Amino acid sequence: MKHTPIYGLMAEFDSASELVAAARQTHAAGYSKIDAYSPFPVEELAEAIGFHRNGVPLVTLIGGLLGGLSGYLLQWWIATVSYPVNVGGKPYHSWPSFIVVTFEMTILFAGIFAVFGMLALNGLPMPYHPVFNVARFAFATKDRFFLIIFSSDPRYSSVETRRFLESLGPRSISEVPS
Amino acid sequence: MEEQKQPVALESSAPVIGPGHSFATVTDKISAIVLTRPTSTGWFVGFGVAFLLTMMMLFAIGYLFVRGTGIWGITIPIGWGFAIVNFVWWIGIGHAGTLISAILLLLRQSWRNSINRFAEAMTLFAVSAAGIFPLIHVGRPWLAYWLFPYPNTMNYWPQFRSPLVWDVFAVSTYFTISLLFWFVGLVPDLATLRDRSQSRPAQIIYGMLALGWRGSARHWHRYETAYLLLAGLATPLVLSVHTVVSFDFAVGIVPGWHTTIFPPYFVAGAIYSGFAMVLMLAIPIRKLYGLEDFITERHLQNSAKVMLATGLIVAYGYAIEAFMGWYSGNRYDAFTLWNRLHGPYAIPYWALLICNIFVPQVLWIRKLRTSPPALFLISGVILVGMWLERFIIVVVSLHRDFLTSSWGMYYPTRWDWMTYIGTIGMFLAAMFLFVRILPMISIFEMRTLLPEAEVKPE
Amino acid sequence: MTIEEQNGKQRREDVCPGKKNQLDLDTARARIAETKGPEFWRSLEELAGSSEFQEMMHREFPKGASEWLDAVSRRGFLKLMGASLAMAGMTACTKQPLEPIVPYVRQPEETVPGRPLFYATAFTLGGYATPMLVESHLYRPTKIEGNDKHPASLGGTDVFAQASILEMYDPDRSQTITYLGDVRTWGDFLKSIRGPLNAQKAVQGSGIRILTRTVSSPAQADQLQSVLKLYPQAKWHVYEPINRDNVYAGAQMAFGEPVETQYKLENADVIVSLDADFLSAGFAGNVRYIRDFAKRRDPDSGNMNRLYVAESTPSSTGAKADHRLPVRAVDIEAFARDLRRIWESKSDFVALAGPGSGAAWAHKHEYLEMVSAVAEDLKAHSGSSVIIVGDHQPPVVHALAHAMNQALGNVGKTVIYTPPVDANPVNQTESLKNLVADMRAGKVDMLFILGGNPAYDAPADFGLADALKNTNIPVRVHLGLYQDETAELCQWHLNEAHYLEAWGDARAYDGTVSIVQPLIAPLYGGKSIYEMVALLAGQPETSGHEIVQGYWKKQHPGADFDAFWRKSLHDGWIENTAFQPKQVSLKPVQIPDYAASDAKSIEINFRRDPSVYDGRFSNNGWLQELPKPMSKMAWDNPVLVGPAMAERMGLRSEDLIELELNGKKLTAPVWIQAGHPDNSVTVFLGYGRRRAGRAGTGAGFDMYPLRYNATPWFTTGVAVTKAGGTYKLATTQGYQTMDTPEGARPLVRTASLDEYHKEPDFAREDEPPAELTLYKPYPYKEEPYAWGMTIDLNSCVGCNNCIVACQSENNIPVVGKEQCVIGRHMHWLRVDAYYQGDRDNPKAYFQPVPCMQCENAPCEVVCPVGATVHSTEGLNDMVYNRCVGTRYCSNNCPYKVRRFNFLLFQDWETPQYKMMRNPDVTVRSRGVMEKCTYCVQRINHRRIDAEREDRKIQDTELQTACQQSCPANAIVFGNINDPESRVSKLKAKARNYSLLGDLNTRPRTTYLAEIRNPNPELET
C-alpha cells in the first residue's frame, strides 16, 4: 500500500465493555494521546482514557448570567431612561412586570451557550477527520467500538504500539493515514 | 410534575423495547425507514392532502393581508377569536415534546427514548403553527415586528408591561431551545445516516448536518453534559411558556380571565393536549412503520396515565374557577359562570366538560389504556376538548363582560375555519416530511436501552 | 372659444387632476357659448361629470347595488362610485363666494391657515330654523355648532342640523341640470321656459302651479307673493309629509285663527305631554325646549319640574317622564277629555268610567290613577304648568289643550301664542289635494316643484306619482338636491344649491329671523329656490345675495343698513324679529262628541323617523348609522310592536309581518319595543327610497303606501299577520337591560327626589381608596391641567346630538349596515338606553358613554407597543401610527369604548369627503384602534391661544364637540385641578359617581346620578 504519514493506530472492538477495558489498560500503559469511539455514550469511557476537564457547565453559567442581566437592564433602561412614559398609572420601573422577560432571556442565552459551547469545545463542525479514512470506522456509528493511539503520542512506535494493541485482543487493527 | 412520575414509576413490567434486538437491528430498522424502504403511496396521498390544506391556509392569509382582519368573525367586544384560540391550542400541544425530552430525561424515565424524537419534532411544528397566529391576527401584520425591541428611528420600544411582549419572548425562546434540543439529539443519528446511506447526495447532506460527528469519548462526555444542562433549562422553560400564555388572560380584567388559577391549569392543560397529540401521531406511525417493538404498550400506557393525571388537574382548575365565581360574591364573575352554564355558548361549554373531564376517566380501565384504537379515539376527544376550553376562555369571557350595553356575539367566518384547518394541514405536512427524511426514533438512545450496552465490570 | 379660455382650460386641468378630455370640444363650445364668465368653469364641471351621471340616472338602482348584501364588495363599490363621481378640480378648487359674508369671530383677511373661522347661519327643517355657527377651514365648512348667542339655540343643535354638513358634501347629490335625463345648462333651461312663461302671461298664469315645502323665509314668501302678483291666476301650493296641519287646525278651532304655540318650559313646574315628543329633533323649538327642560331638572335647585307623558310610541320624552302612560294615539283624546272633566265637573272615577271616557281602555286602574293624579297636580300648579300636545294629534286634542292651558292660567306664563312661523299656514294636505285635482283636470301647464319629493312622500291615495306620469303636463320642473323619485317624473331637473351654498333667511320657532349665509360656492353650481323663484318673478339673473339683501333693505331702509346687515350676519339673527306674544281669546269651543275608539282593533302610527325624518336625509350616512334613541336601531325602520301584543301573536324581533290597511298590503320586519302600547304598532316614515343614493337607496321599508290623506298619523283597523321569514336588523346596543341572572348592575344609578334628599350620596359605590396601591400614584395634582368630564344623566334626554357632533368633529367613518350587524360601528361616543321594570311600561334611562380616560387605564398596560399611553394631563392618548392592532386594549377596556378599523372603513378616495374632514384630526386607516380623545385637538388649539397670551386656559373657552352641541348642557368638561371650574364643582356633588368604579380604574369621566321626581300619589 502507498506510504503515507501515519495519524495513529486504531483497534476495533465488539462491545462497550471490551473497549472500556482496553482503554483503561492503554491509559495505564502510559499512553496519553488516545481516544475512543462508540456508537452511543459510554459513561466510563471518558475517565478511562483520562478525560476529566469539561468546560460546558461554566460556559452555560456565563450565558445564563449574561442573558438575565441584559434582559433586565434592557427593560429598565427603556422604561426609565430611554423613553419613560406613564402607562396606566404604573411607575416607570415596574419591576414585577420585567421578571418574565428576564427569565426567558436567561434560559435563551444559557441554552444557546450550552449548545454552541459544547460544539466549540468539541471542535465541531469538522466534516473531515483522518479517522474517517478507515473504511470500517463507518461502523463506529452503528455497532462497533474503536480505540486509537495517535502517532503524536511520545511513547508511540509503529511496532511497539501495534504489538500492545494486539495484546488487547481486538477484532482488527488498522493504521489510520492522516 | 409529581403526578406523572408515579404512574410511570409504577409501571416496570412491560418492556420498553421488544426482545431480540441488537445494536445492528435497531440501527437498521430505524434508519431503513429513511434510507432504504420505498416511499409508500399512502405517504404521498397523506402528504398531498396536508400540502393542499397548507396552500388553503396561505390563501386565507393572503386574503387577510389584502382586506384586513375584518374578514374574520371578530368584532367589538370579541376582539380575539379563532386566531388566539388556535394559538393557545397549538402552543399547548407543543408542550409534550420538550416535556418528554427534558423532564422525563431528568427523571431518568428511559422509556421516553423511543418517543422523544418525534415528540420534539411535533413540538417544533406545533409551535410554528402557533407562531403564525399572533403575527397575522394583528390589524397591521406588516408591523408585527414592532413587538421586538430593536433600535429604531422612532426611538421607541415595546411596552414591557404587556403580556403580549412576554409572549413574544417566551414563545421565541421556547422555539429556539426546542430546536437546539432536537438538533443536538439528532447529531449522532445524522452521523449514523451519513455512514449508512448509499447515495452520494444523501451522504453529503447528512454529513453536513452531522457536523462531522465521530462519537469520540471526549465529545460524548461534553455532549451528555450539554444535553443534560439543556434538559435542565428546558424544564422550567416548558413550565413557563404556558404560564406566560395564561398571563395574556390572567393579567386582563375581563371576568373569566382575571384569575390566579390560570398558570398551573394552563400548563397541565398543555401537557394534557400535548400527550394526546403524541398518541394520535404515535399510534398510526408505529402501526404503519412496524415499530411496535420500540413504541410498546408501555409507552402508550404511560402516556395515557400522564393524560389521566393532567386531565384531573385541569378538572380541578375548572372546579376552582366555578367555586371562585360563586364564592367571590363578585357579580361579574358570578355572571360569567352562569353565562358559561346557561348562556348562548352553553353547548360548547358542556361539550368541553364532557371531552376533557368525563370521557378521559375511562383511562382508569387498563384494557382501554392498552388498546391503541381506544387511546387514539380518546386522544382525539381530548384535543377537541382542549380547543373548546380555549374557545370558552377567549370568546365566551369576552362576549359578555361588564356593560350589558356592549354585549355581543361571535360567529366565525369561512376564513377563520380555513386558517385553522390550514394550520393543521401545515403541521401534518411537516410531520410527513419529518418521518420520511429523519430518524423518527433516537437510534443512539435506543442502543443504550439494549442489555449489551451495559459495561460489565471486569 | 377664445384663446384665454383655452389656456384657462389647460391650466385648470393641470392644476386639478380629474376627468380630462372627457368632452368633445364642439359640444363644450356650444354649451359654454351660452354661459357667462363666472359660471364658465362650473359648467365645464357639469359637463365633465355628466357621463357617469346619466348612467346613474338611467338605471333604476345604482351600479352594483345587487352586491350590497356582501359587506366586502359593497365597500369596494362605494369607493368605486366615490372615485367615479370625482369631478375635474373638485378637490382643491373651491372658491370663496363672491359676495361678502361676515365671519363670526374675526375678519377674513385675518385668515390663518389652520385657524378655523366661524360663520353664523341657519338650518331649516319644516320651516323652522335652527340657528348655528359653521366652522370653516380655509373656506371649507367642516363642522356645525350651535349659536350660543341665539335665543332659539343657546348653543345646542339637533342631529339633522349637525349632519347636514355631510349632506352638502354628499357625492350623490344632483350635480347637473338635466332634461329628460340629458345634461343641460341653466341657459338651455332659461331658453326653454321663456316661451311657456310668456304664454302664461296671457292667461294670467292660470296654468302655473308652484309646489314648495313649508316656507318661513320672509324674503322667499315675499318673492312668491310677487310672482302671484305677476300671474294672478297662478297657485302656490305647500306640502310636507311631516306638517303641522293639526296644530293650526286646533288653534283655529280654539281661537278662530291659526296661531303658533310656544312653551316657556323654564317656568313650568308640571309638564303634561299628550303624545308630544318635544325633547327630540323635529319638534319645533326642541333645542330650546331641551335646554329649558334640563335647567329645571336639577334636583339641587329645589324647583325640579315634574313630567307626565301619555304617549303612543316610546320616545326620549317618555323616557325622561316621571310618570309615563302608554296610550294608543286614538285614546289620547279620551285622556285629554277625562283630564278636563275631572276638575271641571269634579267628576270621580265612577263618572269617568261613563261614556266618552278613555276608561274603556285596557289598563283601566293604571289609567284612572294617572289621569286623576295628573289633574290634581295640574290644579295645584295653576299658572306654572303646561300641557303640550303632539303635532299629529287631531285638532280637537289641541283645542282641549288650549282650553285647559287657558283655564289653568298658564297662558302668558308657560304658554304664549304668536303668529304662525309658517308664512303660508294653509292645510298642506288640502293644498296638495287641490294640486293633484288640478293636474288631473288638465288645468296645469307648468308645474314647479321647488324642493320636496312628493312623488315619494305624498299621501298614497293622491296617486301623485301617477298624476305626474300620466297627466302629461307640458312643463314639469323639479328643483332638488337629489335626482330623486320626483325628479324622475319631471322633464326638467335643476340641481339645487345646498343651504350651506346659498343665501337665504328663515324664522326660528320664536319667529326670530336668521340670515342664511353660504359657506362655500355651490360645489356643482346649483341654483337656490330664491334664484328659481326670482326667475318666475321675471328676474332670472338676480343672485340669491341680491334677493335676500334686497328684501331686508326694504324692511330696514336707511343709512345704517350696512351696519345692520353686518351685525345681523355676524350675530346670526336680525334684532327684534321675534314674534310678540299675541292676545287670543278662547272661542266657545264646540268640542265634537267623543267617539270611543275600538279597543280591540289594532292601531297603526306613522311617525317621522328620528334619523332620516321624512326621508329627505335617507342618503346621509351619519344619520342612517345613528342609533335611534329608544331601539338603538340603525339603517332600518322595523315595525314597533308592544311586548304583550308580540307575545299574543308569537312574534319575535326580526320576524317579518304583513300589514294590511284598506286592502293595501306591506311586508316589514318587527321590533319588539318595551313600553309600546298594546294593540298598536308604530311605523317610521322615510325609508325604502328607490332613488336616494348609495346610502339611502333600498335601506328599510317604505311605509308611505299605507299612509292615506284622511289618516296621515294614525288609524285603527290595520290587520297584522305573520308573514314568515326573518330580516336581519342592525342594533348597536347589545342588551337594553341592566339586570342579569346574577343581580342588577349599577350602571345607571337613580333615586327619587325624596330618597335623594334622605341619602344624597346614594350613588357613591365603595371605590377602593386611592392610597390602596403598592405603586406611587402619578402626581397629576402637580400638573397645571387635569382634564375631566361629568355627564349629568338627569339632564341627558338621549337626543343623540353628541354622537353626530363627535362623528363630524373627529372624522369618524360610516361602516354600513352589514358591519353594524356584526357590531363594528365606530361611534366614539355612544348613548346607551336601558329599560327597567315592567316590560309594558318600563322606566328608561340614557347613558352617554365616551372614553372614561381612566387614570389607571387597563387598556394601556396591555398594549405591547405602547400605542396607547397616558399624557401628563391625564388623557388616555391613542398613538395611531404606532398601533399595530392587537385589539388587546379593547378586550381589556371594561367600558368597551374603543373602536377598531377591522377593514378600511374610511373613504380615502371621494374628493368631497376629503374637503369635509376636520384637518386637525387624523384620518385613521385599516387595522388601527381608535377612541374618544376628549377632543385633544381643541384642547391644544386653546392651549396655543393661552400660551400666546401667557395665561391659563379659561374654564369657559374650551368645550369638547359633544359638550358644545349638547342642548341639555348635560356634558361638562374642564380642568379638575382648578377647584373653581364647573366640572370640579359638579364632581363635588353628592350624586357624582364613576361607572364601574369598583374596578379601581379611576375614570376621569364621571356621571351625575339620575333623580326622578315622581308624584307621591302615584308612587307604589
- State the pLDDT at residue B368: 86
Q: By mean pLDDT, which of A23-37, C396-410, C656-670 is the weakest?
A: A23-37
Check if the beta carbon of residue C691 is closer than 8 Å to that of residue C482: yes
- State the pLDDT at residue B78: 93
pLDDT at C67 over 50: no
State the fold for domain B21-453: Formate dehydrogenase/DMSO reductase fold (1.20.1630)
Is the CB of A58 inside 8 Å of chain B's CB atoms? Answer: no
> Which chain B residue has the Cα nearest residue A24?
B458
What ipTM was assigned to the predicted interfaces of this complex?
0.89
Is the CB of C778 inside 8 Å of chain A's CB atoms? Answer: yes
Is the CB of C745 inside 8 Å of chain B's CB atoms? Answer: yes
Amino acid at B10: L
Separation of alpha carbons C296 and C278, rounded Å: 15
Q: Which residue has the higher pLDDT, C352 or A40?
A: A40
Give the sheet arrangement for strand C603-607, strand by strand.
C714-716, C603-607, C680-684, C639-641, C664-672, C655-661, C719-726
Separation of alpha carbons B89 and B84, rounded Å: 8
Ordered by start, the domain boundaries in chain A are: 6-39+143-177, 56-121
pLDDT at C33 over 50: no
> Which chain A residue has the Cα nearest residue C867?
A87
- State the pLDDT at residue A37: 87
Tens of pLDDT, residues B236-254: 998 899 999 999 999 999 9
Residues in C 414-453 with any Cβ partner in B closer than 8 A? none
Q: For A176, phi and psi rounded to 5 degrees?
A: -105, 105
Of the partner residues B79, B159, B162, the one whose CB lies closest to the CB of residue C900? B79
Give the Cβ contact number of residue C839 at 10 Å.
18
- State the pLDDT at residue B193: 86
Check if the beta carbon of residue C691 is closer than 8 Å to that of residue C65: no
What average pLDDT is seen over chain C? 85
pLDDT at C418 over 90: yes
pLDDT at C347 over 50: no
Instruction: Give the mean pLDDT of C169-186.
Output: 91
pTM: 0.87
Question: Which of the 8 DSSP states describes residue B38?
Answer: P
Of the partner residues B158, B404, B409, the one whose CB lies closest to the CB of residue C738? B404
Check if the beta carbon of residue C97 is closer than 8 Å to that of residue C106: no
**CA-wise closest residue to B401 among B81, B84, B77:** B77
User: Which CA distances in Å does B291 have to B295, C626, C641?
Assistant: 6, 67, 70
**CA-wise closest residue to B303 among B119, B173, B442:** B119
**Distance from the A74 Cα atom to the nearest Cα atom in chain B, whole angstroms:** 9
pLDDT level of residue C547 (50, 70, 90 thresholds): very high
- State the pLDDT at residue A126: 84
| pLDDT above 90: percentage of residues in chain C | 58
Separation of alpha carbons C1001 and C453, rounded Å: 52
> Any residues with CB less than 8 A from the CB of C918 and at least 6 apart, and which?
C137, C142, C143, C808, C809, C810, C811, C937
Q: Which of C832, C845, C887 to mutate to test the interface with B (most CBs of B within 10 A)?
A: C887
Tens of pLDDT, residues C938-960: 999 999 999 999 999 998 889 99
Q: Are residues B139 and C887, on separate chains, in Cβ contact within 8 Å?
A: yes
Separation of alpha carbons C604 and C328, rounded Å: 9
Q: Are residues B158 and C866, on separate chains, in Cβ contact within 8 Å?
A: yes
> Any residues with CB less than 8 A from the CB of C340 and at least 6 apart, and which?
C400, C403, C404
Ordered by start, the domain boundaries in chain B are: 21-453
User: Which CA distances in Å does C481 have to C85, C171, C499, C524, C910?
Assistant: 16, 11, 10, 10, 18
Q: Which of A60, A82, A122, A133 to mutate to test the interface with B (most CBs of B within 10 A)?
A: A122
**CA-wise closest residue to C351 among C363, C364, C336, C338:** C338
Which chain C residues touch A87 with a CB distance below 8 Å? 860-861, 863, 866, 869-870
Amino acid at C589: V
Which chain B residues touch C886 with a CB distance below 8 Å? 137-139, 164
Q: For C1008, phi and psi rounded to 5 degrees?
A: -100, 120
Which chain C residues touch B402 with a CB distance below 8 Å? 745, 894-896, 996, 999
Determine if the peptide bond prior to A125 is cis (ω within 30°). yes
pLDDT at C4 over 60: no
> C730: which 3 cell numbers?
342592525
- State the pLDDT at residue C1007: 94
Q: Which of B76, B156, B393, B402 to mutate to test the interface with C (most CBs of C within 10 A)?
A: B76
Separation of alpha carbons C1020 and C1010, rounded Å: 19
Check if the beta carbon of residue A173 is closer than 8 Å to that of residue A9: yes
Q: Are residues A38 and B220, on separate chains, in Cβ contact within 8 Å?
A: yes
Is the CB of A90 inside 8 Å of chain B's CB atoms? Answer: yes
- State the pLDDT at residue C98: 67
Check if the beta carbon of residue B305 is closer than 8 Å to that of residue B411: no
Radius of gyration for the alpha carbons in chain A, expressed in angstroms and rounded: 25
- C780: helix, strand or coil: helix
Give the Cβ contact number of residue B126 at 10 Å.
27
Is the CB of A154 inside 8 Å of chain B's CB atoms? Answer: no
Beta strand ranges found along C16-156 (DSSP E): 117-125, 128-137, 140-146
Q: Which residue has the higher pLDDT, C58 or C340?
A: C340
Is the CB of C821 inside 8 Å of chain B's CB atoms? Answer: no
What average pLDDT is seen over chain A? 85
Regions in chain B scoring below 70 on pLDDT: 1-16, 456-458
Is the CB of B444 inside 8 Å of chain A's CB atoms? Answer: yes
pLDDT at C229 over 80: yes
pLDDT level of residue C103 (50, 70, 90 thresholds): low
Give the Cβ contact number of residue C102 at 10 Å.
17
State the fold for domain A6-39+143-177: Alpha-Beta Plaits (3.30.70)
